[in-house]
Amino acid sequence: HNIPKWPSNILKDITENCTVIPDFITENEEMSLLKEIEPHMKRLKYEKSHWDDAIYLYREREQRNWNENNKEVLSRIAKASFPPETIHLSYIHILDLHKDGHIKPHTDSIRYCGNTITGVSLLSDSVMRLRHKDEKDIYIVDLLLKRRSLYKLTGIGRYDFTHEILDQKESNFSGIKVQKNRRISVICRDMPQKEKPPEEL
């Protein structure tokens, strides 16, 4: 993490709740995931813009069924990221970002995502930038997402900060250029919190 002087409560929350585990999967596990992802993905065309205009040059799909090896990896991701008993979505979101693509600052809608977003990065390193929603040029954290690492966003990083993936020209971390190529992320989310039942009259 790359953090300027911040109020200690924000700093503590973001440091505890927005984490990256390097080498979360092995090269073999990365290959095994790609083998199951690529045949479907390569039939799709890269899109220039997303329905809410958050992503540039990407293709995506959701996958529910996986082979046994990959299932094991996916359950390790869930175990590392969600508190026990959390119900996470059974569809895994797979996002293929072109070398020249990027993801603009956004927060995931509470209609589709609960408290946690977690993802493993395949094929390329990249930089994820978190910006505070009200102080977007002051409270900024960059996370280096190395190939095969697992990131997790929860707490204020999920709700009070936007996240984005920098385009290749801007991809620097601690002053060092990060080579961003085509990147595939395998993303898990927990279920949105159920709405409170209406109060009885």
Residue number of the CB atom closest to ligand AKG: 185
Number of amino acids touching ligand AKG (CB under 6 A): 9
188 is an interface residue for ligand AKG by CB under 6 A: no
> Which H or E run contains 165?
strand 161-165
Using CB under 6 A, which residues numbered 59 to 118 contact ligand AKG? 95, 103, 108, 117
Among 116, 185, 188, 190, interactor with ligand AKG by CB under 6 A: 185
Q: Residue 187 CB, nearest distance to ligand AKG (Å)?
A: 5
Q: Residue 7 CB, nearest distance to ligand AKG (Å)?
A: 25
Q: Residue 95 CB, nearest distance to ligand AKG (Å)?
A: 5
Looking at residue 192, the DSSP 8-state letter turns out to be P
Q: Is the dihedral of CA 70, 76, 82, 86 positive or negative?
A: positive
Identify the bridge partners of residue 162 per DSSP, sorted by sequence position: 131
| β-pairing verdict for 126-132 and 140-145 | antiparallel
Among 165, 166, 178, 188, interactor with ligand AKG by CB under 6 A: 165
Q: Residue 185 CB, nearest distance to ligand AKG (Å)?
A: 3
- For residues 57 and 76, give the distance between their C-alpha atoms in angstroms, rounded to a whole number: 29
Q: How far is CA 176 from the centre of its chain?
A: 22
- DSSP SS3 for 77: helix
- For residues 137 and 131, give the distance between their C-alpha atoms in angstroms, rounded to a whole number: 7
Q: Which is nearer to ligand AKG, 12 or 170 (CB)?
A: 170
Kindly list the residues in this chain that would bind ligand AKG in the complex (CB under 6 A): 95, 103, 108, 117, 119, 163, 165, 185, 187
